[in-house]
Each structure stands twice: as C-alpha cells, then as structure tokens.
C-alpha cells in the first residue's frame, strides 16, 4: 500500500499540486490572496514587506539576577539585537517575592527575578527604554504590575512613553490551558488582563497591551490548526471583555498581536502564518464591524519551537532553528525570537545566544528573502494548504462558540482534551518511528554532551533575597501601605486596577505584596482535572 503523507495537522499531502487543487480547496485569488498590506492580509501586514526593515530580532533572555541579565542585554544589543524579550523567573510570574519561602530554589532559574521597581531599574541600567525597537516580557497573571513598572521607569529615565515600544504577554487563558503560571481564578484574571488593554487604549495607544499566545498551546502538543483556532478564540474573549468595559474595539484591536510557534513542518508553518492573518482580519471585520483596513492587519510574533530542540546531539538544533527562522520570515512575521542550541539543557550561554541571533541576521542579510514579499504566494500547494487550515480552524471555532466561548471552553477542559489528543498522537508517531527525529529515534549515537552549558551562580539567590529584604526596610512603608490599601479598595469595587498599581510600584511595593492584596480580594485558582 502506498504511504500516505500528512502535515502535522493531519492534512493529506499529495505528490503534486496543480491548478485543480486550488479549485478543490475553494481558492479565490481576489478573496483569499489579494495584495500585501491590504485586506485580508494573507500576503503580509506591510505593503513593502522587509524591503525597508527586517523583522524585530529578539533573544529571550533572563537569568540569575537583574544585574547579570542587564549584562546579557548589553551583550545582545551590542551584537545587533533590535528588541529585548524579558524572561521572568517562576516565582515572579506567580506573584511571589524572591524572599518568600515558596520561592526557595527557583529564584533566577528560568528567568530574571523582578520583585520590585528596584530590580527593573537594575535590569535596564544603561539601556534607555527607547533604544530597543520593542521590549516584551512574560508577565501574564500579574501583567498590570509590569505595565506599571514600565510607566514609572520611563518617568525616571525622562523618556516619553510615546517613544518606547512595549509589548506585554498578558494572556492568562493560555496559562490555564497549557502553561500553569496562574494566580487568580479565571474571571478576575481575564478582567485584570483587559484592565491593561483599557488603560493602554486611553493612555498608551502605541503600546501592545496583550499578546494572544498560541506558542504555549502549540508547545503543549496542539497542532497548527488548533494553534490558529485556540489563539483566536482566546483573543476574542479578551476583546469582548474589553468592549464590555466600554472601550470601542477600534481603539485597541490593531494593538493585539499574536504570538506563534514555528515548528519543523516547513510548508504548513508558512501556511499557518498566512492563514492566521487572513482569519484574524476576517473575524475582526465581521464580528466587530470594523471597516478601516488599517485596523484589521495582524502583528505576528514568532518564536522558534523550543519543543523541537533535542538534548541528544544538541548541535543539530542549530539546523532546526535555521529552518524555522527561514519559515518564519517567509511567513511574514514582524518579531522573531530564535531558540539557542543549548536550551534543551539550560538558559543559553553567550556563545549559543549569539549564534541564534546570527542565524536571524544571516537569513535577513545573506539569503535575499527580504527582496520580495510573500515569495510563496500563489503556490498551488501553499494556497491549498492555507485554505484547508482555515477550514479546520473554523470548525474548532464553531465548537468553542457552542461551549460558550474561550473562558467556558477553558473551564470545561475542552482545550486541554483536544491538545492532549494531539500530543498523544505526536508522541505515538515518534515512538513508532512514523516521524523521524534525528538523534532521538534514528541516527542515534552516544557521544555525550559536546557543549558547555550555563550554570547560574547559586549565590545570586541569596544576594537577591537580601536585596528584597533591605528594600522592605529602607523604603517609605507608610506610602506603601497607603498604596496597597487603595489598590484593595479599587479591586473590591471592580474598577481598573492599573492606576493604583502604578502608585504601588512607584512607592516600591513588591510584586508579592501587590499580588497578596489581590489574592485577598480575588482568591486563588487551585486547578482542576478535566480528564
């Protein structure tokens, strides 16, 4: 029997594609393709593509302490990085200060500890906030605090917020679905996320207050079609909640980017990016009755797939990241983070992270792909694949609507069950060698670990704890208590918590103290089993 070839989303791939396949897929040139920079944006957000500027080049970075991470940021900027992506450590992400006993052993391990504005000041020491083209951070469950820090830090640096590019992750739904760094129950958490959107729409309209994250959903095991549908469904939940707060969608929709993974299925990943732009613009136009095409284009943030990295034969990861970088660029991303070859083991070393950055630079400057826009547009295979991905994604979106939307689908476990099924199938294919992963289930050797890895100095945790404790003694604690009382009052009456968060941050209240106040009001999410 002839072997059946399929994409990662189980779409059958034919041996050859012709114009007849376009007809079969229901492809219409004017409706589905169009021109770059014009609705439905299949061919790209910008009419000039990368001919004026390549994408913003990021490396996700943060470890040990704010001081050590600051050194890494200077290193990256000096080597040509154009954006900063702040990796936050686990205790900070779930609302604990570094001196909290529950943070013991985790301070600075998977990101930089940011317990207060003091740490943020050290983090950006010698780096004007308007130097990078954009600054992003992995604050989700406590995103209003990071927003407040960026606002106050800009004031202290004397830089107008209008000159700073800020992008906050702030997607809490995907935490319940796939990642786990939640603090509060879903309803107040979504409200906190949309408080950030509403505040930025009024005060900082050039910032990106929420990034709808499909990346973590994909890393948990979802396929490309699920990544499209589940990300869009979550974005709709945030938009709807913001609109309920009285903010017109025209004020903020264009400032909600999507953060996607780029895996190893080269053509499907390219088709996925094109499909997401098209489905996004169509959904925003139809659901929110937005006619201004300038508001319908999507900013696409891409991170090469960490799940594709292997601990076995880690040098192979250099090739994987290069392939994914090329797919991301051809797919038309605006921001790109490249993984480093050693990330299956540790936070990247300087040499590894520099090589990952050089990968982007080589592809941007040496391959010629920036010369033309959407080079695969019109490909029989790509357009057929894009239409099929959109069809599958729409089916998922209908199912999510039938469950009552993304929040209900999260609470009922719909997303988790769908992802679990896809993850199981992926692992089955690898175990049965239907899918070859070089160095893992084929072409295996036992040469051991051929690279040096980064080891975070364990003494940095003690230093960070001492710093937090000293701050709590030296600051004006009367102002801190006043700010926290006001925050509690505002949270209790369900008004926007960003303004009192700003005052709390300005008084050097800590992340843990602010989150503890909100825990008193909102309670904590304890998790649920859906299987």
C-alpha pair distances (Å), 167 with each of 19, 140, 152, 306, 337? 41, 12, 16, 21, 14
Q: What is the mean pLDDT of the chain?
A: 95
Q: Contact at 8 Å (CB) between 169 and 213?
A: yes
Q: Which pLDDT value is given to residue 449?
A: 62
C-alpha pair distances (Å), 443 with each of 19, 305, 306, 419, 433? 38, 21, 21, 29, 12
Does the structure show a pLDDT above 70 at 448?
no
Does the structure show a pLDDT above 70 at 531?
no
Band (77; pLDDT cuts 50, 70, 90):
very high
Q: Which pLDDT value is given to residue 143?
A: 98
pLDDT higher at 402 or 457: 402
The Cα–Cα gap between 499 and 148 comes to 8
Q: Which pLDDT value is given to residue 527?
A: 73
Band (1; pLDDT cuts 50, 70, 90):
low
The Cα–Cα gap between 426 and 410 comes to 22
The secondary structure of the chain in percent helix, strand, coil, rounded to multiples of 5, reads 55, 5, 40
Nearest to 337 by CA among 348, 349, 326, 325: 325
Band (346; pLDDT cuts 50, 70, 90):
confident
Does the structure show a pLDDT above 70 at 528?
no
pLDDT digits (tens, 9 = 90+) for 269-314: 999 999 999 999 999 999 999 989 999 999 999 999 999 999 999 9
Lowest mean pLDDT among 34-48, 208-222, 515-529: 515-529
Token pair, residue 39, equals: 């609705």
Q: Contact at 8 Å (CB) between 498 and 144?
A: yes
Does the structure show a pLDDT above 90 at 447?
no
Query: Residue 105: is it exposed, middle or buried by C-beta count within 10 angstroms (0-12/13-18/19+)?
Result: exposed
**DSSP letters spanning 413-438:** THHHHHHHHHHHHHHHHHHTTSS--B
Domains and CATH numbers, the chain: 35-431 (3.20.20.240), 476-522 (no CATH)
pLDDT digits (tens, 9 = 90+) for 377-407: 999 999 999 999 999 999 999 999 999 999 9
Does the structure show a pLDDT above 50 at 530?
no
State the average pLDDT over residues 411-435.
95
Q: Contact at 8 Å (CB) between 193 and 143?
A: yes
């Amino acid at each position: 029997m002839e072997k059946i070839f399929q994409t990662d989303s189980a779409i059958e791939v034919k041996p050859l594609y012709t114009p007849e396949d376009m007809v079969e897929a229901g492809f219409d040139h004017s409706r589905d393709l169009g021109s770059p920079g014009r609705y439905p944006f299949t061919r790209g957000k910008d009419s000039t593509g990368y001919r004026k500027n390549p994408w913003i080049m990021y490396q996700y970075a943060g470890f040990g302490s704010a001081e050590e991470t600051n050194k890494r940021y200077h290193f990256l900027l000096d080597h040509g990085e154009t954006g900063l992506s702040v990796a936050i450590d686990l205790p900070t992400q779930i609302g604990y200060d570094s001196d909290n006993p529950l943070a013991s052993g985790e301070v600075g391990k998977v990101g930089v500890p940011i317990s207060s504005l003091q740490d943020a000041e050290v983090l950006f020491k010698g780096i004007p906030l308007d130097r990078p083209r954009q600054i992003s951070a992995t604050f989700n469950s406590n995103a209003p605090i990071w927003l407040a820090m960026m606002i106050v830090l800009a004031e202290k640096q004397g830089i107008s917020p209008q000159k700073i590019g800020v992008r906050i992750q702030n997607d809490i739904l995907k935490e319940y679905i796939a990642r786990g760094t939640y603090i509060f129950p879903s309803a107040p958490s979504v409200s906190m996320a949309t408080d950030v959107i509403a505040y930025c729409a009024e005060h900082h309209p050039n910032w990106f207050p929420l990034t709808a994250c499909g990346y973590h959903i994909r890393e948990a095991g979802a396929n490309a079609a699920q990544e499209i549908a589940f990300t869009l469904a979550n974005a709709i939940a945030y938009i709807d909640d913001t609109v309920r707060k009285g903010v017109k969608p025209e004020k903020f929709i264009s400032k909600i980017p999507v953060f996607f993974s780029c895996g190893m299925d080269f053509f499907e990943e390219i088709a996925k990016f094109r499909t997401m732009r098209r489905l996004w613009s169509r959904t925003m136009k139809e659901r929110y009755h937005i006619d201004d095409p300038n508001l319908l284009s999507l900013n696409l943030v891409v991170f090469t797939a960490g799940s594709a990295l292997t601990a076995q034969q880690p040098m192979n990861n250099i090739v994987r990241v290069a392939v994914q970088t090329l797919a991301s660029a051809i797919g038309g991303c605006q921001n790109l983070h490249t993984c480093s070859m050693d990330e299956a083991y540790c936070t990247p070393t300087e040499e590894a992270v520099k090589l990952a950055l050089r990968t982007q630079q080589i592809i941007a400057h040496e391959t010629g792909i920036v010369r033309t826009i959407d080079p695969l547009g019109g490909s029989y295979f790509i357009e057929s694949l894009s239409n099929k991905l959109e069809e599958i994604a729409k089916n998922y979106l209908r199912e999510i609507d039938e469950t009552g939307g993304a929040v209900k689908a999260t609470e009922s476990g719909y997303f988790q069950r769908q992802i679990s099924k896809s993850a199981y199938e992926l692992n089955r294919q690898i175990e049965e060698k239907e899918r070859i992963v070089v160095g893992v289930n084929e072409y295996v050797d036992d040469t051991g670990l051929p690279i040096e890895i980064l080891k975070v100095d364990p003494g940095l945790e003690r230093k960070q704890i001492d710093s937090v404790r000293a701050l709590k003694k030296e600051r004006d604690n009367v102002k801190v208590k006043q700010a926290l009382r006001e925050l509690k009052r505002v949270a209790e009456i369900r008004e926007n918590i960003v303004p009192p968060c700003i005052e709390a941050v300005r008084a050097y209240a800590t992340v843990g103290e602010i989150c503890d106040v909100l825990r008193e009001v909102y309670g904590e999410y304890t998790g649920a089993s859906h299987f």
